[in-house]
Structures are given as structure tokens and as C-alpha cells.
Structure 1
């Protein structure tokens, strides 16, 4: 299995970075995992801004040569792991800009004249590891699970990815947030997946 980790946090001293390290550590100890690649969107300097004009059209985004390396990474991966904080009830704009550009028609899905498109990323799986300052159940009770609906239904299911697992951790800025236990949980998952 090939794993692509898409890490989206600007601070390498953050808890999100500690989760990244545990995913890597667990994956390296798992004999079922052949290779792990990390795409750090901030370190990469990924430009999340969509630009469309007379020279760059949305319908051609799936073939944009500037995005070819990222398309190759997604094609290569069997499992895609997103690591990010929840800000204002959703992933960071940097990650959403990546999604806008990479999960394009002609690459991630194809319109087939039906209600739903044909997902072109079938057979892959996704793991979302997210952290937030607020309580763990805040997104469920106050936001109707908007974050999970966005990642599972609006993105993954739309492009043919049916296996989506969430590690959504709240209270991460609290001294009682059980950060060590949560880091260990993620490590164990990737060691055994």
C-alpha cells in the first residue's frame, strides 16, 4: 500500500505536526505499507488561489501542467491521509484550495449525464485527522457535522472514494485534552492498518 499524507498546518511545532510524525512512525512499522510520501502544503508553497481567465479555463484544470506532480501523487496513492486543524468549522483555506484544484473534472470525476458523476478515484481510501480547540462534539451538535459531510460526501464519495475514516479530536488546547492518548491511537491505527 502507498500512502500520501497531505499535511496542512503552517507550524511545525503544532500538535498537527506531532500527528504527522505518528502517522509516519506507525506506517514505517507496518509491513503492509510499501511507501509513504508527505506533501506539506505550506512548506511546498502551494498556491490555493484559483485563477481562471482567457488563458486558463476551469474545464482544462485536469490537465494543468503546473499541477501534474500533485495529480501523479494522488494517482500513486492507495490511501490519502489529510492532517489539518478545524478552523471556523472547516479545514484551512490552504487545504480547500488544494481540493478545488486537484479534485477536478476529468481527473477525479467525469460527468456522465446522470445525477451523480462517475468517480475516477475508486479503490482508494481516505483518513482525515483533524484537531480543534472546541469540544469534540461541537461540529456534530452545532454544525450538523458540516466538516464530515464536506470531506465524506461532497468530496470523497463524489470522486468515487467510499472508505473514509475520521479522527476528529476536540479540546486540543486544553491540558485535559488527552493529547498523548490521541497521538498513540493514531500511531496504532497506522501500525496495523
Structure 2
């Protein structure tokens, strides 16, 4: 099972085109998947005081439990989202804050924090408005990898097997965007 976690509010965005290519590729390969379109689900990204109380009492909020069950059943997590202000959209950050919680994604054992999702792999697909020349030399791409791939997913035990950056999406030609979609398809096929 593949879980696609998608975070973009615009139904005409290039991210939607990426999502469609991912779904078509999975369907063509006969791979079962579960799409989590966070905006369509109207997922509540706010980690509230009530959430903390529930977690501290050993419970899990119902919407979080549902997402955790879906993630438990997946071997591959495909994240599709734009980079806004050098980070992920707030709805996705809130999803991680709430769903990748203590006791589900990590825990303490003998004074050490241990990732609990080591049976999962991740493929991250990001769109950026900036060019590769703007991001790479400045070290921003490396920062994104450190904060996301290592700081979030590796911490939870998830192996990031691909992190695809698609640069200058609003400024490139349609042919270049088509080539990007072909790259998404090819790289996804390689990891299935």
C-alpha cells in the first residue's frame, strides 16, 4: 500500500498535475494506494491544548487516529507539496505535528529517542518558484533536506529514498513542465 500525502489548495496547480501522474502510475502498476488530500479533507492542522490532554491521557484524537491507521498500512509514503517560504505548507506541518506524535512515530527507550516507523520509505516531491541556481548555491536545498528528510522523517525511522525538487515551475515552458512530469513518473516507477 502507498499513502500519498498531498498539500496544495489550488485545483489547477502543477502539484495537482503531479498528483494525477502519481495516481495514474500507481493504477497502471496495480498498486493500491490511499490519497490524503489535506485541503480536500479539511484536515485540522492545529495541535491544540485538547490534543495535548488527549495524548497525555494515553488517547489519540479521532482524526489523528484515522491518519495513523492509514500510515501504519503503508510501506511507501509519497509527499507532494510546494515549498513556500522555504518550508512546507502550514497544513502539512500541522499534519506532521499532530499525526507523527509520540508513541506513534517515535518514543523514548532507555533515555534515547527511537523512530517507530522504520518499516516505511518516503518519496518527497517538491515544487519551487525559485530556480535551482537560487537554491543550490545558497544552501537552501541542503537546508530543506536537513530539516525534512533528516529532522522529521529519519527521526521517525522513515528512510527517504527520493527527494525530487522541481524548480522554477511558474517560469518554465510547458515542455519543461511535461519533462518534469515524466521525471516524476520514471522516478516513482523506479521505487515501486
TM-score by length of 1: 0.89
Question: What does residue range 12-161 of structure 1 map to in structure 2 within 5 Å?
Answer: 12-31=11-30, 33=31, 35-53=32-50, 56=53, 59=56, 63-115=60-112, 117-142=113-138, 143=140, 145-161=142-158
Supply the distance in 1 between the matched residues of 2:155 and 2:52 (Cα, whole angstroms). 28
CA distances 1:15-59 after superposition (whole Å, capped 9, x unpaired) = 00000001111111224x3x1111100010001111115983554
| Partner-residue secondary structure (3-state), 2:171 | coil
> What is the total number of aligned residue pairs between the two structures?
189
Q: Which has the higher contact order (CA 8 A, sep 6+)?
A: 1
- Taking a change above 3 Å as real, the CA distance of residues 152 and 53 of structure 1, as seen in their structure-2 partners, is same
Distance 1:161-1:169 versus aligned 2 partners, 3 A rule: same
Q: Which runs of 5+ in 2 are unaligned?
A: none
Unaligned runs of at least 5 residues, structure 1: none
Q: Indicate conservation of the 8 Å contact 2:54/2:60, yes or no.
A: no
Contact 1:152 1:164 (8 Å CA) reproduced? no
Are 2:183 and 1:185 aligned? yes
Aligned to 2:7: 8
Q: What do residues 76-115 of structure 1 show as CA deviations (whole Å, max 9, x unaligned)?
A: 1110011000001111111000000111110111111344
Query: TM-score if structure 2 supplies the norm length?
Result: 0.89
